Structure 1
Amino acid sequence: MLDSSEIPARQSRSERLADLAAAISVDGPGVRDARTPDLRKGQKAALTVTLKKGTYDLYCPVDGHRQLGMEQHIHVG
């Protein structure tokens, strides 16, 4: 996941290589349910969002994964 909870406002791109079924979803100011497709082992996907100032939730939308802790909250300043 992310090492910092504070990042500058800018365009952000995330790429993930899946080891198990997973995806990335982002919710926050001006961004609602931006997400990758569900990925299986060996698949990858890119997700590009423009982050404005505010708080964002990044999480795995695959059933049960968010509840298992696959989430991160970040603040863009």
Structure 2
Amino acid sequence: KSNEVGRVFVAETTSSGEAVVTSEGGRVEKNDEGDRYLVLHDGRRYETKTDNHETRIVEFDEYGLRLDIKVDTP
């Protein structure tokens, strides 16, 4: 069972604007409390503000996203 993912695209809408994250790949990790994170590598985050349409681009080597996913276990 692999926790690796490839070519990731994540879109997010917030009260202040929109963000898109792209990455060559990553992996799913779980911390001691059971929270799951998507840890991406070699990517970019594009942020656009709603009020003035200003865009910011951030390049990253590693970027973590908390996943709010509920998984049913038998």
- Normalised by the length of structure 2, the TM-score is 0.33
Considering fraction of residues, name the structure with more strand: 2
Flag the structure with more relative contact order, 1 or 2, with Cα contacts below 8 A and sequence separation at least 6: 1
- Normalised by the length of structure 1, the TM-score is 0.32
